[in-house]
Amino acid sequence: MKNLSGNDDVHYVGEFVLTREGSINFGEISREIACKIRRQTGKIRLRIGEHDNFKNKGYGEKHIERPERLGQIKNKGYNNARDFVYDIVSSFDIIYKGKGLRLILSKNGKITDDAIFIELVLSKEGDFYDVKTGLIARKNYFKNKTPLWIKPKNGV
């Protein structure tokens, strides 16, 4: 994980979580990547979201920070969902196709350790991607999945 210095307090604008720098945009799917994966470009944003304990469904910060998941991300050195999402968006090196039109951004192109990733969905309200969820899974989670994009060693 990147060394994330600064204020650990999480701030919000409306329903969006802000990065440590105060932006609602955590990163983006660039034009170059979008062309290669045949998807639209777009900023990546994290909503406060919700989590339903009874159905074990939800999205956004609250879904990522449910107790068992928060414990997992803290064990990997992240303080909260904001820092977890920011680190992955800042350093993802592989994109997989998720369910339907979802995209999965993974930090570990070579699965030699746990798979650390977030899942994105296109926002219904604009030209950006919402973070649906994020998690740490067993290292062979992507074993039978074909990547849409792998970061070249020399850039995009």
Residue 5, domain member (yes or no): no
Residue 27 maps to a domain: yes
* Phi and psi, residue 96, nearest 5°: -115, 155
C-alpha distances in Å from residue 72, one per residue of 8, 29, 83, 84, 118 = 18, 26, 13, 11, 14
Q: Which domain holds residue 127?
A: 12-150
Is residue 7, in this structure, part of any structural domain at all? no
Q: Considering its fold, how many domains does the chain have in total?
A: 1
pLDDT of residue 1: 42
Write out pLDDT tens, residues 77-119: 999 999 999 999 999 999 999 999 999 999 864 445 788 999 9
Residue 58 lies in a domain: yes
pTM value is: 0.91
Is residue 132 in some structural domain?
yes
